[in-house]
Structure 1
């Protein structure tokens, strides 16, 4: 007969399995290299495990996971605040496991996004994942209007940088 602990572990693993790409995307933006990516991913997993019982269900589980992953990565980034904190561009496609034809565009996009401030990285990643402004506001603690304004400004900066 399964124990409560085993059931909790199984439920946690199912939730993580359903959201592992989301977690990976967030960690990718803050990792210096592949090893750092794995360490950061594990740190996010530990934080999620510790906080699972505190999940109130007021938002979608994916929104809560985004918030935890983003906060964990931003905290780590600020704590270490290194110039080399972004993953090398050549490693992005390898970890993302994408086709060769999309690898170049993905590298360019991640290179531009990696130059953004930590919170702006999270905002634009959520927007690229088609998260609603309300979900982004919930994760970041910003107002919906502030999210809309920041997304517009971030997009303008990325477009300008891509044309340079």
Structure 2
């Protein structure tokens, strides 16, 4: 059995290894840098609280996506982190502060941020090359619904990107 220090080290290492997942989710579910930081911290807190329940039946990244997306969607619904952002201007290009993505990738993530909560989740998971069954498991919708959402979301993204460019 692992002691607390080993568990903490293992958790921190896994979060560090998969932090790109968290940054993507925070970018598309937040409106400004302060909200992104708050959401990131809240997701890590929820991951830590849930870590003892992680049964390793799924990959860590799959479990992490599920917890992170559920946290982002729940907080967005409750408007806990986002109550003051209506008065702020949207800083779409804040992704530059966090990542070194190409201009095309930045535009893609800005476009994704304009989708609905579920569409964002499905597209992000698809971009991570998750299969329909894994996306279905993480998001909590049927595989058929994943397929439909992907087709519709891709069409929406194409229209949004066309407007952005």
Residue 86 and residue 154 in structure 1: after superposition, are their counterparts in 2 closer, same or farther (change >3 A)? farther
Residue 87 and residue 23 in structure 1: after superposition, are their counterparts in 2 closer, same or farther (change >3 A)? farther
* Partner residue, 1:46: 45
Question: What count of residue pairs does the alignment treat as equivalent?
Answer: 158
TM-score of the aligned structures, taking structure 1 as reference length: 0.87
Q: Is the 8 A contact 2:66 2:138 kept in 1?
A: yes
Q: Which runs of 5+ in 2 are unaligned?
A: none
After TM superposition, list the pairs within 5 Å mapping 1:1-40 onto structure 2: 4-40=3-39
In structure 1, how many angstroms separate the alpha carbons of the residues matched to 2:90 and 2:43? Answer: 17
Shift of 1:87: 5.8
Q: Is the 8 A contact 1:43 1:72 kept in 2?
A: yes
Shift of 1:86: 9.8
After TM superposition, list the pairs within 5 Å mapping 1:44-83 onto structure 2: 44-80=43-79
* Partner residue, 2:96: 93
In structure 1, how many angstroms separate the alpha carbons of the residues matched to 2:90 and 2:139? Answer: 23
Q: Is the 8 A contact 1:89 1:110 kept in 2?
A: no
Query: Runs ≥4 in structure 1, deviation > 6 angstroms?
Result: none
After TM superposition, list the pairs within 5 Å mapping 1:115-134 onto structure 2: 115-134=114-133
Q: Which runs of 5+ in 1 are unaligned?
A: none
Q: What is the Cα-based RMSD across aligned positions, in Å?
A: 2.0
